[in-house]
Structure 1
């Protein structure tokens, strides 16, 4: 997507028409235009500057210093603007030999793009072994009126701009349909989230929680997805797997925690092992922390 954005430059950056090389003061001029454009739109300035100057520099990527959520949302807006459209839709064509595991990964990636990039996503092809019985799955935080990840028929001979009729509904091959997670619920494939939710559901003090929700750390920061949120108490719980021990992931977590804390959120982190092996202690800590926040009137 970043490569396509580079090819569309300067269509998505007003005032940059005619700037095609990085010679002279071109980079400075493009940076200033990007900052000004971001101030007038919902774009994030530093990301737009990196993307614009990178388009002059040549093949990238040039925006990897930004979080994936920031890149997805920014690229969605840039691609839509480059084509003169209010929103962006992606047509994904999976390989014919995609197995069930690959199909689940594809649909998960599509859902992530809908959630974080506000794309409309269409999966085009024959049949997906794991999702061909899910003809329509409503997603959260999607492009208005396009909030689905939907298999569509083969369109190799279709012309751009022409509508494509949808597939008829199919019956499930085996068992019950598999529902993907939506905002407000634990992810069904995360044993840790499901275990914690099952423990919280019978406890009155846990009322007001929401799973897999988004919060905005500050007025100039893009929304971020959190595992578990008590909105009124401004309390966030993150459940970390082993991958969060890696240096890059650890640094990203600390950076995000600081942004959230500076804007009044408390961030509690537990490992998968703590939740699965010592759930009572996790519950006791959560209950005590929420009680303290409520007594202090946090979020009122």
Structure 2
């Protein structure tokens, strides 16, 4: 089975890593933060148990060898030779650009690069690559093991062959690829971030409580999660960063970030990973 390299061992990176491992890929997971890597193996075992309970009808989660197929490393050099390199670092254009400059020295012939981003231009990132035609946006959605859709984003130089290979790769992971063109926010986040931002404005204005807003989405619209629970899962800091990218690129006031979101991030209330966002979370939740 081919090897997948994962850059970034945060919430999204670990989810992508265990999804690839669950479907038989050998995975190399790397991050520059030793603290993140120190807890990664434990986190992965916990996540595998959680998804096994959440998706009992998916036979891949019953494989006890999933954690053993994930190797942890600090240096991007460990990704050399990977068939796919999936980048999942923070939604900060400067950080992503630096990572892709470094990846230029790592990926050899045959290594395709997938940019897992909410809003950052794939064309802009691909311009830093040695082979921009082999770079594609691969937007997995939270929680990765449970959401069947993957938004594939073609940059200006993305080749037909890279798109074909990306479709095949995510299909092996039990996902349905949907191919779109490169624009800020693409389709999914251009819509979802408006939902999350406007829901925050409703809380700020006292129109409704988070539970009421999310109930309208889950009970009224049939969504699995409401926009505020989703924002907590993603991380409010990531939501704020993504809205800033959309605002900077589009120069459209509809993407102006809700002040409440900024205040919550400043206070460290960023959602599930901090234990408090629009909702309160316990360690066992």
Q: TM-score range by the shorter chain?
A: under 0.3
Higher Cα Rg: structure 1 or 2?
1
- Please identify which structure carries the higher helix content: 2
Structure with more relative contact order (C-alpha pairs < 8 Å, separation 6 or more): 2
TM-score relative to the length of structure 2: 0.26
